[in-house]
Structures are given as C-alpha cells and as structure tokens.
Amino acid sequence: MPPLHRRHLLKAAGVALALPTLEAMKPSAVRAGFASDPAPPRRMMCICTNMGMMPEFFWPQVDDLDDDGAYRPSEYLALIDDFREHYTVFSGVSHPEVDGGHNAEISYLTAAPHPAAGGFKNTISLDQYAAEWIGIRTRFPYLALNVGVENSTLSWTGSGVRVPAEDRPSKVFQKLFVQGNEAEVENQVRRLRDGRSILDLVGDRAGRLHKKVGRNDRQKLDQYYQSVRELEQRLVTAEQWQRKPKPVIDVEMPQDIDDRGELIGRTELMHRMARLAFETDSTRIVTLSIDENANPKVNLPGVNQGHHSLTHHGRRDETVEQLKIIESAQMKAFGSLLGDLHRVGEDGETLLDRTMVLFGSNLGNANSHDNKNMPMILAGGGFRHGKILSFDRHDNYPLPNLYVSMLQRMGVETDRFASSTGTMRGLEAI
Amino acid sequence: MACCLIASMSQASEASAAYDLAGFIDSNCLDCHAGESAEAGLDLERMVSDADTRFPTDRWAKVHDRVKAGEMPPPDYGSPDQPDRDRFVVASADRLRRADKERQATEGRTVYRRLNRVEYENTLRDLLRLPNLEVAGMLPPDSSAYGFDKVGSALDVSHVQLARYLEAAGAAIDQAMGPVLQHGERPETQVLHLDAKTNGRLEQVLRKGKEAVPVGEAVGLLRQPNTAQAPWWWSKFSPTVDGTYRIRMKTHGFVWDRGEVLPADQNHVVTYYALRQTTKRPLGTFDIGPSADQASIHEFDAHLRVGEQLQFWLETLSDQNRGNTPMEEYVAPGVAVEWLEIEGPLFPQWPPASYRQLFGDLPVQDWDPDSNVQPPPLPIHYDGVGKRAKLVQAKPGKTTLRHVVSRQPDADARRLLLRFANRTLRRSVGGDEIRDIVELVQARLDAHVSFQEAMRVGYQAILCSPEFLFLDESPGQLSDFALASRLSYFLWNSLPDDELRRAASRNELHRADVLSAQVERMLNDPKANRFVEDFCGQWLDLRRITVTQPDEQLYPEFDQFLLDSMVRETRRYFAEMVRDDLGADHLVGSDFLMINERLAELYEIDGVEGCTIRKVDLPADSPRGGFLTQASVLKVTANGTTTSPVTRGAWVLDRLYGRPPLPPPPNVPAVEPDLRGATTIRRQLEKHRDDEACATCHRAIDPPGFALESFDVIGTWRDRYRALENGEPPQVKEIMGKPVVYKLGLPVDGSGVDPGGESFEDVHEFRAILLSRKETLAKNLAERLVVYSTGAGIDFADRDAIAKILNETRDTGFGLRSIIHAVVQSDLFQRK
C-alpha cells in the first residue's frame, strides 16, 4: 500500500485513529522494521557536562593501561568502579573539525563542523534522529532536559533549529504523569484541533503563494509548508495521546530547586525524572544538558569560586583542588544513575542493559578550551563493556562512529551519522 | 564625450567576455591551490571547472580582491606581471557584476525573509498596543548570516518554530483580552501607603541592630538587605491585574558614625525590580538624596503583572557582613527607606486599547449557563507572589466566566477580521482574500463557541500565515507597501504605523522627499531605540555581554550596576552619533563620552555624579573615546579572567575595518593562559612573529590587540597585569567590604607595528592611525547598515552602490545619520 497522503488523514479527522494508520504514512523503509515489534524496547540517554573533566584525573595514566583495554582506574573512574563491567571509557576521540571551545556544545550530539564559524548551521542531533525512527512508539518521542542555563539544549532538528529543553523537574513530572481533569483534557483537545485547522488554512495559503514567488524564495516557502505538514502530524499524534490515560505512579511531584549552586541536587533530580520516564515507557530517548556557563558557585564543602572560573585554573593548585571536588561529585552522581537503572528489572534483564547512557563533555580540556580528546563514557545498552578503548590522542578517532553503533543498537537502520566513517571499533553488541 | 565612454565600456565588456579567466588561474594559481591538499583549503581547480555551470560569486570575489591587492599570487611567486593582473581584475570584476545583476534581476538580492523573534515581538506589541508583551522568549533563537539575524537566507522555519508561533500568538491574544474578561468592569485604582509603622516587625529588625538602624521614622539599611531584612512591607503588595502602576518611594542616604546619623558623603543609587518566579525585571534606576532634608522621592510608572513582587537593589551598598564590630564603633554608609506608595492599576481608558484592537466596542458580559453559548475556557493565572508565584487554572464555581457579546456575530466577525488583516498583513486586504479565515471563525460561531474564542482562532491564523511571517518583496523596484515594511523593520523593528501606511497607499513613499521626511520622523521617534539596541547588540556583540563573568578574585569591583552602565553607554553613544550626524571617525575616537558616575570611576574621570548617562567632555590625556575603548567592547572581546590580543585584534579587523581575518589553521593548539603571573599573553604569542606562516595573518591581527592590552577584561586601564600568585599587593585593600586578593604582576606593553609599517607606543598613537582610515571605517559601517536594513549580504555588484553612499556622505565626514539616509535612498534599499 502506498504511503497515505496527508489529505486522507485529515479528512478522517474527528474519528479516533489507530496508531497503525499513522505508521502507514511513513516511507516503506521505516514501516518494514516496525510491522510487528517483538524486540525489547531499547533506550538512549545522552548527557553532556559542558565544563569538561580534568584529563589528568579522568583517564588512567599510560602505565596503568593494558593493550587489551584493561586498566587500573584513575581517580575519577575509581569513584564508579563498582559498575566497571557496565561501561566503556573512550580515549582519543572527538568530533572531526568541531572546534570553538564552548561553542562546541551545540555540536556535541550533531558533530556539525566549525560551530563557531559565521553562517554556521547545525544539523540533526543524535536524539532527534533516533526519535524520527522510534519516537512514535511512546507518548513523548523524546525528552530534552537541562540543568543550569535556561536556553541550554543538546537537541537540534534537521533544519538546524534548537529543540528547547525543560529545566524544571516539576514541569517534566506534570508532562509525564499529571492527568488533566476531563474539562482540561477537552480543552486541550479543542486547542489541538484549532491548531490543526489553523495549520490547514495557512498551509493552503502557502500553496497559493507558491506560484507567485521566485525560485530562491520558493525554497523558504517550501520549508514553511513542510513545517506545517510536520506539525499537523504531531498535533494529530498529540491528540491521540491526549485521550490515553497517563501512567499512574506512586511518586510525589518533585520540588524544583531554584538555587543554581545545587548542581548535584539538580542533576540527581533530572536523573530521577529520566529513570521514571524510561520505567513507564513514556519515552525511550532522553537528553540532559548540564550547563554551568552561568558560573555558579557550586554548593559543596571546600568550593568557594564559580564553576566556570575554576576550570580556568591556570594550573594553580588550590583551584585545581576545588574543581576536583565538583567533578568528583559529578562522577558519583553518574554512578548513582547507573546504580538506579541497574536495580530496575525488565523481562529478566535490567533497565541499564536496555538503556545506553552516554556521558561526557564537548571539552577535552576546559583550561585551554580544547575540543580534542573528549572525556566520554558509554554505559549499559547491551554492549560488552569493562574496558578502555584507546585511540590516538594526537589524531583522534571520530566520535560519530560511536553514535552509529548506538543507533544500530536501537534498531535504526543506518550505517552513518554526520562525519562517521563506520561503527565504533572495539565496541561489541551483546 | 559620453558616447566615447559608453563605447569604450562596451568595448571593455566585450574584451572582458572574451578574456580567459580559467587560463589566468591555471597559469598563476593552481600550483598551490589545487586538489585535496590545496593551500588554505581553497581548491581553484574545481571552482574554475564549475564556473560555467555555477558561478560561486563569493569565492570569485575573494580571488578578485586578493589579486587586485597584489596579495595573491604572493610577491615571491614570480608571475604575473602588472598588465596581466589588471586585465584579470577588470575581466573578473565584469563577470562578477554580470552574474550578480542577472541573479538580482530575477531573484533579487534578498531571499524570502521571515520575521525574527525580536521583530515578531515588537510587531505584536505595536499591533496589540501591549508595550510590555513578552513573547520573544517563547520562540527559538534565530540564526544569523553576515553578522545579523535579519538576513533572509539564515532564517529558517521548522515545525518547532511553527508550534511556537501558534503558542505565542495565542498568548499575545490572551493578554490583549485577558484583563477585560477577568474583571468585566474597570478595576478600581487604589493607593497603598506602606512604611515602617505599618508592620511591627520593624522593632524586631532594629533590635538585632546589626544591619539596620532607626533613622527618624525610617529604616536605615547598612548593607544590601536580603529577603529577611528587606523592607518586608514590600511583600504586602502584589498587583491584582496586569497594568500600569505608579510607584513612589521616599529614601535618603546617610552615614552611620558610631551611633550618630550624618548626611551621606557619596551618591547612592537604587534599582527597582519586579520579581516573579525566577525572573527579575528591572524597572528603573535612580539616585538617592544625601540626607533626610534632601530626601529623594522617586516617582515612576511601571508595568506590573499579577504575581510580581517589588524589590530593590542598593547598588552602592555592600552585601558583606560587618562581622563583630559593635554598633558604637561601626562607621558605614547607609540608605534609609521612609515609605513606599503604590497607586494603581491605572488604565487611561477602559476597555484598554489592546482589547479594542481585537473587539472594538463590543461589550463583555457574564456568561449565562442557560444560554446556548458554549462556556468560555477557565482562565489560567498566577497564584502566589514573587518566588512562589505559580500558574494555576482558575477553579470552576469560584470564577466568573465572561465572554464578548455581539448582536450580529457574523457581520462583526467579518468586519473585525478585515480590519485586523489590513493592519497585520502590512498592505491593503480585501474581503475576498480572507474568506477562508472568516469561514474558520464562522464554523465555530455556528457551533456556538463564545465570540472571543471563535475570533481567537481567526486572529491566530492571521498571525501564523506566511503573509504575516514573511516580508512580501518582488524582484525589481519594491512596491510602496513593501518599502514601508522594509523601512519600519529597519528603524523600528516593527510593522508600519498609520502614517507610513498612508504614504504607501497614496503611492508617495518612494519619492525622495517623502522618504527622507519619514526617515527623519522615524529616527526622532522613541521606537528608534529598538534599532539602536538591536544594531549595537549584534554589530558590537552587546548581546553577548553576559556570556562570561569576570573572575571575582581578579575583578572584585565588577557588579551588575557597572554591567548595566556599560551597555547603556554604548547604546547612548551610538544614539548620539545618529542624533548629531557624527562622522565615522567617532567609531574610534571622540572628544566626549556618554557616561555616569560608575563609568567615570572605571575610566578614572572626576566630577561625574549620579546614575544617569550624560555627555561629558573627554579630559585631555584620557585614552578613551569612540567605541574602541568602551568598557562593553573591551568586555565582550575578553573572557572572565584574561584578555587575548588575537581575539581583540580579530574583532577590530572584523567589526571596525570590515576585513575579518581568515580562521586559524586546524590543529593549532590553544594557548593555556597562565594566571599565576609567570608570563604574559604577549610573550606566549611570540610564535606569531617568528613563524612566517603565522605572521602573514597575525601581522594584521595582533597589533590592534596589543594596543588594547592596556585594558583589562572589564575595561579598566592597566599598567600591570593582575595575577593571583606572583606580584605586589595593590594600593586598594578593600572593595565594597570585600578584601582585595589580586596582585599587580608583570607590566603591560601596549606597543606594536601596524601592517602598514607605522609603529605605535600605546593606544593613543594607535588611535591616530585608525583615525587616518576614516573611509575604511565608513565603508564598513555603511555595509553593515545595508545588510541589517535589507536582509542580505553585499554582493560584488553592490560595491558601486556602496561607493555612491560614501560619496554622498563624504562632506559630512560620513555622518551616521547621513549614511542612514543615503542607505534608504539607494537602490540597494529600494529594490528587492
């Protein structure tokens, strides 16, 4: 059956639509993979901490490394050594041609080159790409979260538009679990339908303008038209989910932490939201941007300067010590996340086994704003872990290869992502 | 004479057409610029072979420029000789011009240009008469090209954008009709007088004696009050409806001298804020009178919203604890707060103008559940005050639902929608053209949806339509309506007002005299401040002023008041240049400054008191003047701890000269700054001099940066670098109660050699060199204004028009106001 035209779908508006019809709208290549899906759900969580991790404490010394990837843990890795068998550490990886120090944050999940250059346009991020394939299976195709700076996000659409992230756990909780009363649901449905009517109208107007504009202008108009179509589809999906009851859980709505200094508290709260979202299958894709650009003074004993300022330690001992306190706490929080995911069982496996957790930073060295040698860890998800994959620190291995491996593990049929050259060498799925 | 010229021109173009561009490239360039290993990544072999199918004008323009300047091929390459060069330059220029003109004739210079979020917000503010509407934050950030987010090619649309436009339009409409639906009748204006006597907790605080003392009947604050100490009576007020409130506060400064209250020995400054959840909105900054007899009463109108809490910040008091010094031995400055009065809400008319824009004179009535009209939705509003304010949905049964009532809904809908469309779509719109929108509303009216809810959908549709979101421009001469839009989005970041529309509908706007008069009117209108803010925000990077924060230990004197002041300085200076038509030389030098007392302190200038920005004559030996040495510029070109001559130098080349340097080669390791003070950044950059490959570019990049090394990251003049380990302690030991821990380290060397060969000892001499390059500065300024105002980059074929603008303004010394006029009068502005 050929993919349905938008018009057929909308003419049927007002009748409850079953999901398979929507799936029929996707191109055949995608449909085939999801005709029936006995495979277990696979998830992805991508975390970026944008102040980096001091290299001298993150990776083991060269002498502590074996040729086959075994190692004696570094100071930071020692803090999460309990889960050694559940993660792989990478050394000598980065995104090809991604530079610009802090500017590289926006390329963390996209690998788009030269993010600081004039006229830069970002490309699709790993999570959004995955969401295009599997997002439809859950109420929320993805969940973009952030701790720190308001506008921060790791997610970008294919046309280079920032996808906003949620920075209030209470709002995330509300989105995931709080069911509106009947009047509220009806109101929302009405708004969604109004939205669709409006989009239908403006889409038609765009169609009529098409003949009047020149060739270059037409491209922009087409973009507009395309966006109208995409949004219409999303509103239809949203309306269906609106009528389905949200999962009921025995957890209280979290209190937002306003104090920007509570880096660890806020991080852990978002970790918890992510885990709840995975547990209830509200989504299978989560991104978390930990953005300390506002330079808050982190509330940990022994720390008395702004986080960002500390990263420019200029090799001063006292400053390095303070930064170590913060980064160690972050590593421990990451370890706790792994522990929490590990404790949830699912069909004989654990949630950690089915969730790839990517943890790292766009900065390999925050003091010099170097984007090479990014500190990266991949945990869980069904791979053979327990070692360090070391590549050339002077001629880095492309990190996008890891992203390809991750996508494939999720069942996405692709063999490339951004500037990848293949899958991650040395990483084996199990 | 003329015919000979024309004849020789056509001869020249024939000769150019016949000239073998590819041949020149082949003989002179491909040795280095071919294949995968091409120098600087520029593969001319491919470019030449593509030339007949696609002519990448940007690249060819670069090649043309470098050959013309004699920079490429490098002098030591050998060939070509001068006549060869000249022929190539003429022929390629010709070819470029033709390619550009062809494209401009069929497509125009600009690409279909979407409103960016700043333009969108301002448009809605003007359209709905809601000057405080905030919707820009709901829309995703826009991309930019050629330095501005007004360039059509950079402004994309995605489904995220569209979803947000729907939301933003809905929110704006809700705000326009909200107050009337919420209150029905005009809310009563009340006056609230609050002072120390109103709340008995005064005794409690005064008894603690540490941070506040009684000063007559007032509370005398000796340090920045935190929430526990702030005149708590302020939290007793919170607006019940969004609107204008008149705020009055009586306050004066004093000195607490071991138990005695003396008049203040310095000027004190206060800033008022409205706080809701985590957003703090500044409402105004004022000076405080020096004593009880000379107390100041600040009176100002502010727009306040439900759930907001008033706060103030004393800019001139420390927030440090005074430790254990007993009050009898304590000496410190203070600010006494006598009373606060709030009058409001004040509505000049009811229903307010915003409601009328949508519903004219139609009345609002309580909804009757027995009627056949569907219930209006329960409003969502803020509950709680300040940090605790939260959005909640009104409770049914506890809320009076109201709706807009029309006795002839179909006719009223048609009329109101037509009126709205005419304003919003920026041209004349006939009833036929909005039939689909009327039907959209009609269908809902037929289903007995309340009138305002039905109309809401229609208004949203108009505000999300491509005709609204994109500027309507056709290739060739712009129509008067299109010209009106371009003009108002240039100088007001918003849609044309009634007067502009009238001139356009009478087809008079394109006339030089009418256009000139409109530009004058628009520049004199307060809305022109939007242009000043937006243009400076992007051209001078003021939007990025908070991206880095000065290290507290190295720069303890930095505070919010200084940050606000430095931004205001730059905007006011630019505005002054526009107002007085000051020449391009004023970009880098001037005989005056626009400063307040805080900036005067930073710039080491005496005799300036008060927080308002005013014109001050530049002292003879001051290194300040122009944008070049303004604190804001010096801050955005540095980070929180260190300066870099490369960053600053590149910025000067790009933003002032319009000649951005090439990006660094890949794999150049970053410089790790040394804050111990063991070496200076200048020494670390010596490689630039020693290595010829580096020197080709850094010869031009570093010198401006070296001259500006005399200024630190917050713009203070320095003879020595501040460091945290090596150095001598400075004379000042304490700033605002905080001990000074930085040391004065190695000396600063602000000398350098300009690529033209001239050497300079310091920024004074460097400035003299810049001032001799007035035309370069003017050309860059004109180009930027063209990009900003037309929404497209400068093509090769546009260079002649730019030259014309410069010629027309040369006798005013390239005055900024004159340049703006010349831009508007040029073909670049009047054609797509």
Q: Mean pLDDT highest for which of A60-64, B734-738, B751-755?
A: B751-755
B785 pLDDT exceeds 70? yes
Question: B816 by DSSP, 3-state: which?
Answer: helix
Instruction: Specify whether the CB–CB gap between B493 and B150 falls below 8 A.
Output: no
B691 pLDDT exceeds 80? no
Smallest CA–CA distance from B157 into chain A, residue = A224
B104 pLDDT exceeds 80? yes
Our CA-based measurement puts residue A208 at a distance from the nearest CA of chain B, in whole angstroms, of: 11
Please tell me which residue, A402 or B105, carries the higher pLDDT value: A402
Percent of chain A having pLDDT more than 70?
91
Q: CB distance from B476 to chain A under 8 Å?
A: no
Instruction: Determine, for residues B671 and A368 on separate chains, whether the beta-carbon distance falls below 8 Å.
Output: yes
Please tell me which residue, B131 or A184, carries the higher pLDDT value: B131
Q: CB distance from B755 to chain A under 8 Å?
A: no
Q: Which amino acid is at A308?
A: H
The question of ipTM being above 0.90 is answered as: no
Instruction: Determine, for residues B440 and A162 on separate chains, whether the beta-carbon distance falls below 8 Å.
Output: no
Instruction: Determine, for residues A201 and B440 on separate chains, whether the beta-carbon distance falls below 8 Å.
Output: yes
| Residue in A97, A162, A308 nearest the CB of B141 | A162
Instruction: Determine, for residues B640 and A308 on separate chains, whether the beta-carbon distance falls below 8 Å.
Output: yes
- What HEC string does A247-286 produce? CCCCCCCCCCCCCCCCHHHHHHHHHHHHHHHHHCCCCCEE
Q: CB distance from B725 to chain A under 8 Å?
A: yes
Other residues' Cβ atoms within 10 Å of the Cβ of residue B783: 21
> Superfamily for B190-346?
Galactose-binding domain-like (2.60.120.260)
pLDDT at A273: 96
Other residues' Cβ atoms within 10 Å of the Cβ of residue A406: 24
* Cβ within 8 Å of residue A18, ≥6 positions away: none
pLDDT at B824: 98
Please state the φ and ψ torsions of residue B360, each to the nearest 5 degrees: 55, -130
- In chain A, where are the structural domains located? 8-28+181-245, 39-178+249-409
Please tell me which residue, A6 or B516, carries the higher pLDDT value: B516
Percent of chain B having pLDDT more than 70?
92
Our CA-based measurement puts residue A40 at a distance from the nearest CA of chain B, in whole angstroms, of: 30
Residues of chain B with C-beta less than 8 angstroms from the C-beta of A146 = none
**Average pLDDT of the residues in B79-90:** 85
Residue of A227, A255, A310, A367 to mutate for B, most B C-beta atoms under 10 A:
A227
Smallest CA–CA distance from A165 into chain B, residue = B140
| Contact map slice: B 5-64 vs A, CB within 8 A | none
Residues B144 and B441: their CA atoms lie apart, in Å, by: 37
Please tell me which residue, B457 or B104, carries the higher pLDDT value: B457
Which one, of B471, B322, B343, B365, lies nearest residue B792 by Cα? Answer: B471
Our CA-based measurement puts residue A85 at a distance from the nearest CA of chain B, in whole angstroms, of: 35
Instruction: Determine, for residues B549 and A309 on separate chains, whether the beta-carbon distance falls below 8 Å.
Output: yes
pLDDT at B294: 87
Instruction: Specify whether the CB–CB gap between B727 and B677 falls below 8 A.
Output: yes
pLDDT at A95: 97
Q: How confident is the model at residue B577 (pLDDT cuts 50, 70, 90)?
A: very high
pLDDT at B622: 96
Which one, of A357, A338, A337, A354, lies nearest residue A346 by Cα? Answer: A354
Please state the φ and ψ torsions of residue B461, each to the nearest 5 degrees: -60, -45
- In chain B, where are the structural domains located? 2-107, 190-346, 539-774
Q: How confident is the model at residue A19 (pLDDT cuts 50, 70, 90)?
A: very low
Residues of chain B with C-beta less than 8 angstroms from the C-beta of A314 = 641, 672-676
Smallest CA–CA distance from B726 into chain A, residue = A316
Report chain B's mean pLDDT, rounded to a whole number: 88
pLDDT at B670: 60
Q: Mean pLDDT highest for which of B184-188, B383-387, B491-495?
A: B491-495
Instruction: Return the sign of the alpha-carbon dihedral for residues B170, B171, B173, B178.
Output: positive
Residue of B159, B437, B746 to mutate for A, most A C-beta atoms under 10 A:
B159
Q: pTM score, two decimals?
A: 0.87
B526 pLDDT exceeds 90? yes
Instruction: Determine, for residues B107 and A293 on separate chains, whether the beta-carbon distance falls below 8 Å.
Output: no
Instruction: Determine, for residues A216 and B111 on separate chains, whether the beta-carbon distance falls below 8 Å.
Output: yes
A7 pLDDT exceeds 60? no
Q: Mean pLDDT highest for which of A129-133, A213-217, B95-99, B309-313?
A: A129-133
Instruction: Determine, for residues B107 and A314 on separate chains, whether the beta-carbon distance falls below 8 Å.
Output: no
Instruction: Determine, for residues A121 and B108 on separate chains, whether the beta-carbon distance falls below 8 Å.
Output: no
pLDDT at B677: 66
Per residue in B303-336, pLDDT (tens digit) is 999 989 888 888 988 877 677 778 888 888 999 9
Smallest CA–CA distance from A223 into chain B, residue = B157
- Give the residues across from B186 on adjacent strands: none
A252 pLDDT exceeds 80? yes
Question: B184 by DSSP, 3-state: which?
Answer: coil
Q: How confident is the model at residue A1 (pLDDT cuts 50, 70, 90)?
A: very low
Per residue in A285-319, pLDDT (tens digit) is 999 999 998 778 899 999 988 898 888 887 788 88
Percent of chain A having pLDDT more than 90?
60
Our CA dihedral for B329, B330, B335, B336, rounded to 10 degrees, sits at: -30
Q: CB distance from B411 to chain A under 8 Å?
A: no
**Average pLDDT of the residues in A53-79:** 89
A272 pLDDT exceeds 70? yes
Tokens at B541, concatenated: 């990077």
**In this structure, which long-range contacts are made by residues B518-526, counting pairs with CB atoms below 8 Å and at least 24 apart in sequence?**
B518/B487, B519/B487, B519/B491, B519/B820, B519/B821, B519/B824, B522/B487, B522/B488, B522/B491, B522/B492, B523/B491, B523/B578, B523/B817, B523/B820, B525/B492
Sequential DSSP letters for A76-143: HHHTTGGGGGGEEEEESEE-TT--SGGGGGGGTTT--S-TTSTT------HHHHHHHHHGGGSSSS-E
Instruction: Determine, for residues A221 and B112 on separate chains, whether the beta-carbon distance falls below 8 Å.
Output: yes
A345 pLDDT exceeds 80? yes
**Average pLDDT of the residues in A128-141:** 92
Please tell me which residue, B79 or B512, carries the higher pLDDT value: B512
B382 pLDDT exceeds 90? no
Instruction: Determine, for residues A118 and B440 on separate chains, whether the beta-carbon distance falls below 8 Å.
Output: no
**Fold that domain A39-178+249-409 belongs to in CATH:** Alkaline Phosphatase, subunit A (3.40.720)
Q: How confident is the model at residue B102 (pLDDT cuts 50, 70, 90)?
A: confident
Per residue in A21-38, pLDDT (tens digit) is 333 333 333 333 333 456
Residues B173 and B178: their CA atoms lie apart, in Å, by: 8
Per residue in B14-40, pLDDT (tens digit) is 666 677 877 888 888 888 888 777 776
Q: How confident is the model at residue B85 (pLDDT cuts 50, 70, 90)?
A: confident
**Average pLDDT of the residues in B267-290:** 89
- CA B72 vs. chain centroid, Å, equals 38
Please tell me which residue, B105 or B663, carries the higher pLDDT value: B105
B587 pLDDT exceeds 80? yes
Please tell me which residue, B202 or B742, carries the higher pLDDT value: B742
Q: How confident is the model at residue B200 (pLDDT cuts 50, 70, 90)?
A: low
What count of CB pairs under 8 Å joins A to B?
174
pLDDT at B50: 64
Please tell me which residue, B200 or A133, carries the higher pLDDT value: A133
Residues A354 and A360: their CA atoms lie apart, in Å, by: 19
pLDDT at A314: 73
CA angle B346, B349, B351 (to 5 degrees): 105
B357 pLDDT exceeds 70? yes
Instruction: Determine, for residues B141 and A151 on separate chains, whether the beta-carbon distance falls below 8 Å.
Output: yes
| Contact map slice: B 112-151 vs A, CB within 8 A | 112, 114, 140-141, 143, 145-147
* Cβ within 8 Å of residue B119, ≥6 positions away: B150, B489, B493, B494
Which one, of B675, B692, B696, B572, lies nearest residue B632 by Cα? Answer: B572
| Residue in B154, B161, B675 nearest the CB of A314 | B675
Residues B669 and B678: their CA atoms lie apart, in Å, by: 20
